[in-house]
Amino acid sequence: MRPELSRRDLVRLLGASASALWLPGSDLAWAKPAPLPPAPAAPDEGFWSAVREQFVMPPDLAVLNAANLCPSSAPVLEALYQATREMDREPSPAYREEMHEAKEITRKALAEFLRVTPEEIVITRNTSESNNLVSSGLDLKADDEVLLFSDNHPSNDVAWKEKARRHGYRVKVVDAVNPHPGAEYYLEAFTKALTARTKVLAFTHLSSTVGDLFPARDLCRLARERGILTLVDGAQSFGLMDVDLREMDPDFYGGSGHKWPCGPKEAGVLFINRKSASRIWPSIYSAYPGAIGISKTFETFGQRDEPAIRALGEALRFQTRIGRPAIENRGRELAQAIMAGLRKIPEVKLWTHPDPVRSLAVVSFQPGDLDPQKLMLALYEKDRIVCAIRPGADRGGLRFSPHFYNSQAEVERAVGAVKRYLATGL
């Protein structure tokens, strides 16, 4: 028999490892937060602090790493936990059937979130899978060209280049310019790089490298006017920006639930525009298709983690309750505070353009001559601040990516810590 745990043990265990989720006699291993108050028209720090209380992160931990991985809120954890528990308590065909219905409810939630139809939604594992389903599913031949942006993630860069070696098509790349030279510059650069052979334009909505924001709608229009297909990598915009895919009108758009939407791991999305559905082949043929539209043929992915898919729907509802524009504004507001603070530190070189039309909530900078890896570790171990690094000489340094669970006090603490280490050394 497991011994009873004291409250102190419980707190220590929960801080220490996810395996502590299994606890005797407890229904849930995290304290149930008070219900989230209705979102005010103009949310203030008080409201955002109530939002933070919906997350199980300890209050002293400032997690500024949304571009990589976001925590799930307690309601999402609860949905995931309960659906998993039910599935394992009664792994019956009837319960599986219920979970298939839950998948369709999430598909509907994804469609509403992205402002498209459920018939155009494929539930994938993540953006990597979504991007690769596109690059593997299009009929590209020798002499065709695919145009990329140089800061694309490997799943939208290496993937095309490797497949080009196999199929013989060509890949061209528009290079990133730093600092972000503005939407007009990129529209012109992409226009110039398109040729009569270009079949696909694949770019990133908001880059993970230095947080450059791209004129997605204009680029998609540019391509559509020339009969060119577009793949928009939305890993850094899905769940952060109030994305409207009908307005953007890409052919394909992918995102990950575990980033900005604060959903569970391994549940993501691929939007396939109804206008383009006949242009793409499925890459996986198996059982358990989705129930409607493109998912009937494209989403036969075999057995899935349906509880995670169900919890992704809960994550989207959680964000919708708070308000999509409010979440986007909050990310921008915190990033602007970070950039304003960093710009006052003479040694810091900011790679992200502070113009709110050119960036959003991903901020990258070179912290003087401090070693980014060591600085990241010091921030985590001594200051309880989580961030990411970009290694190497090309716009290397640290990346802070704040989200709606962060506070102004946390971003001030992060900027203050960078300043202190620059003054004292590591």
Ligand X SMILES: Cc1ncc(COP(=O)(O)O)c(C=O)c1O
Q: Give the residues lining the site for ligand X (CB under 6 A).
A: 68, 126-128, 153, 155, 204, 208, 233, 235-236, 256
Quick one: 319 or 422, whose CB is closer to ligand X?
319
DSSP 401: B
CB 239 within 8 A of CB 205: no
Q: How many residues does the chain have?
A: 426
- Token pair for residue 96? 């599986």
Distance CA 28, CA 210 (A): 39
CB 295 within 8 A of CB 309: no
Report the SS3 class of residue 172: strand
Quick one: 353 or 415, whose CB is closer to ligand X?
353
How near is the Cβ of 126 to ligand X at its closest, in Å? 3
How near is the Cβ of 32 to ligand X at its closest, in Å? 29
How near is the Cβ of 204 to ligand X at its closest, in Å? 5
How near is the Cβ of 70 to ligand X at its closest, in Å? 11
Quick one: 153 or 224, whose CB is closer to ligand X?
153
Quick one: 211 or 293, whose CB is closer to ligand X?
211
How near is the Cβ of 271 to ligand X at its closest, in Å? 15
Quick one: 51 or 123, whose CB is closer to ligand X?
123
Tokens 């999402």, located at residue:
76
Quick one: 345 or 390, whose CB is closer to ligand X?
390
Alpha carbon dihedral 197, 270, 178, 170, in 10-degree steps, equals -20
Helix (H) or strand (E) holding 333, with range, is helix 324-343
Q: Output the DSSP codes for 82-119.
A: HHHHHHHH---HHHHHHHHHHHHHHHHHHHHHHTS-GG
How near is the Cβ of 211 to ligand X at its closest, in Å? 10
Quick one: 75 or 211, whose CB is closer to ligand X?
211
Distance CA 145, CA 317 (A): 40
CA distances from 69 to 176, 261, 338 (A): 24, 10, 19
CB 250 within 8 A of CB 216: yes
CA angle 21, 27, 31 (to 5 degrees): 70
Quick one: 153 or 199, whose CB is closer to ligand X?
153
Q: Are strands 145-149 and 170-174 parallel, antiparallel or unpaired?
A: parallel
Quick one: 159 or 379, whose CB is closer to ligand X?
159
Query: Of 314, 248, 290, which is closest to residue 115 (Cα–Cα)?
Result: 248
Cis peptide before 179 (omega within 30 of 0): yes
Phi and psi (nearest 5°) for 396?
A: -75, 165
Quick one: 80 or 206, whose CB is closer to ligand X?
206
CB 67 within 8 A of CB 236: yes
Query: Of 223, 266, 258, which is closest to residue 238 (Cα–Cα)?
Result: 258
How near is the Cβ of 174 to ligand X at its closest, in Å? 16
Quick one: 134 or 422, whose CB is closer to ligand X?
134
Distance CA 45, CA 42 (A): 10
Q: Are strands 385-386 and 62-63 parallel, antiparallel or unpaired?
A: parallel
Phi and psi (nearest 5°) for 389?
A: -120, 155
